[in-house]
Amino acid sequence: MKNLSFFVFLVVVIFSCKQEQRDPTIFYYPAEWEPQEAIIIGWSENYTELFPLAADLARALDGSTSVIFVSDTSENPQVFKQYLVENNLDTAVFNFVSIPIRQAISLRDVGPVYMINGLGEKKAVDYRWSFQDFFERFLIEKGVDPDEAKADASFFNRNQKTDSLIAARDGLEVIVSTLNFEGGELEVNGKGTILLNEYRLLKLNPTLSKTDIEDELKRTLGVHHFIWVGKGLVEDGYPTDIVVPGYVAIGTDGHTDEYIRFANPNTILLAWVDEEEKDSHPVHAENHRRMKETYDILIKAKDQDGRPFKIIKVPLPDLRYRPTIVVQGWASNDSTIGKEYFLPHQKVALGDTLQYLSASSYLNFLISNDKVLLPTYLTVGSSAEKEERVRKIFTQLYPDKELVWIDATTYNWLGGGLHCYTKQVPKVN
């Protein structure tokens, strides 16, 4: 019996080792908890209100990960450098890069997807930024001539080239893909499994099937196991999709980094609204319905090796929204939103008051080497009890990492968070 037990143990060990083996020539996209060389952070003089976020991120990463600041060639780096100096940051320790891009505040989505292999090589993938094609279809639906709509949408061409330009600057080979796919929805476990928002990806790639999308991700990303999940948070929606009457958001229409994340190869974090909270607000009710749909998928799902996942429900911060009046044109600010953001069938009228939702989520966090950067909502009066629950979850998940809390609430109003504002560069072995 003793010999039999040892034999079983030996088989398990050998099988596990075999599972961990990876062909060193194959490129793959590393999970976020794998070693990182640098974090890329964008900045723009058009968004000086985000300077504090950029500075806080750089300060938090100090001593752990190098920081590369990226801006458009039209920007004056001295403006931003002076801000950093005034906030007691040594600009000599940062790398500043200028490339021709329209705006550099969402590099998670438009920046390069870095791939590495076991031979110490690195290359990048240039996926298509979805907003350009979405905007073209949006204009056509508003009655704009298709040729004119295409020309108007070409305004975003400079964003499309961001990933290739950054990668080429570093002398990397670039794989170009026509798939509408962004960094904020690139959620992998580093072992071949990826989480995908079915609604969003099929909507933004209307000529492709799920099989087509999977084949392209196999070709470009090195993944081979796909878990298709449900819709994202209401707070991360498009203004063209008012799900809860009277409430509007200007987000990404469901990036996974807002509501479902891998914490390690076998653990998935899922944004959650408790039963007792879901009936307190229609947005809570819809979020609960959506997250429950994804939870039901996850409890049946298996990883690339056929094992079930551990699923941890993470509370959402308190709901944040503010009254916004519909005005003429595109111009929007803290109290107005342009009527042009909406489609005719939505019947949004000038002077209407809509409640504008902030894209708030604890799952928009960043892992970087020995630190985990987490958004805090205590600064805006959110529940301290919820944030303590989040702290305990992450402390248990990452006992050897330092938790650093960052106020990203200003960027939440622009539809993003601290994860959206950053892009990791993996370290090659």
Tell if the pTM clears 0.85, that is, is over it. Answer: yes
pLDDT band at 375 (very low <50, low <70, confident <90, very high): very high
- Tell me the chain's radius of gyration from C-alpha atoms: 22
Looking up tokens 């196999």 gives: 218
Closest-CA residue to 208 (of 319, 127, 124): 127
Helix axes 130-141, 146-153, angle to 10 degrees: 150
Tens digit of each residue's pLDDT (9 = 90 or more) over 216-226: 999 999 999 99
Question: Looking at residue 6, what is its pLDDT?
Answer: 44
% residues pLDDT > 70 (the chain)? 95
Question: Terminus-to-terminus CA distance in the chain, angstroms?
Answer: 43
The answer to whether position 343 is within a domain reads no
Q: How confident is the model over 188-213, as a mean pLDDT?
A: 97
Domain that holds residue 248: 25-320+358-426
**What is the rounded average pLDDT for all residues in the chain?**
93
The answer to whether position 18 is within a domain reads no
The answer to whether position 145 is within a domain reads yes
The answer to whether position 337 is within a domain reads no
Q: What tokens were used for 221? A: 């990303």
The answer to whether position 342 is within a domain reads no
The answer to whether position 160 is within a domain reads yes
- Find the CATH number of the domain harbouring 234: 3.75.10.10
Looking up tokens 């090589």 gives: 121
Closest-CA residue to 353 (of 318, 322, 319): 322
Tens digit of each residue's pLDDT (9 = 90 or more) over 131-166: 888 889 999 999 999 999 999 988 888 788 899 999
In degrees to the nearest 10, what's the CA dihedral of 215, 219, 221, 226?
A: 20
Tell whether the model's pLDDT for residue 11 goes beyond 60: no
Q: What tokens were used for 143? A: 């009655």
Give the whole-angstrom CA distance, residue 215 versus residue 224: 9
Tell whether the model's pLDDT for residue 93 goes beyond 60: yes
Question: Looking at residue 102, what is its pLDDT?
Answer: 76
Dihedral pair phi/psi, residue 284, rounded to 5°: -60, -40
Tens digit of each residue's pLDDT (9 = 90 or more) over 236-276: 998 888 889 999 999 999 999 999 999 999 999 999 999 99
Question: Looking at residue 16, what is its pLDDT?
Answer: 45
Question: Looking at residue 13, what is its pLDDT?
Answer: 41
Residue 372's CB is within 10 A of a number of other CB atoms, namely 22
**With 0-12 CB in 10 A as exposed, 13-18 as middle and 19+ as buried, what is 96?**
middle
pLDDT band at 211 (very low <50, low <70, confident <90, very high): very high
The answer to whether position 422 is within a domain reads yes
Domain count, the chain: 1
Question: Looking at residue 55, what is its pLDDT?
Answer: 98
Closest-CA residue to 104 (of 51, 153, 31, 58): 51
Q: One-letter amino acid identity for 230?
A: G
Tell whether the model's pLDDT for residue 4 goes beyond 90: no
Question: Looking at residue 385, what is its pLDDT?
Answer: 98
Is the separation of the CB atoms in 116 and 122 below 8 Å? yes
Closest-CA residue to 133 (of 114, 113, 153, 151): 153
The answer to whether position 170 is within a domain reads yes
Tell whether the model's pLDDT for residue 193 goes beyond 80: yes
Helix axes 51-61, 77-86, angle to 10 degrees: 60
Looking up tokens 């819709």 gives: 231
Question: Looking at residue 20, what is its pLDDT?
Answer: 55
Q: One-letter amino acid identity for 172?
A: L
Question: Looking at residue 10, what is its pLDDT?
Answer: 42
Burial 343-352 (b: 16+ CB within 10 A, else e): eeeeebeeeb
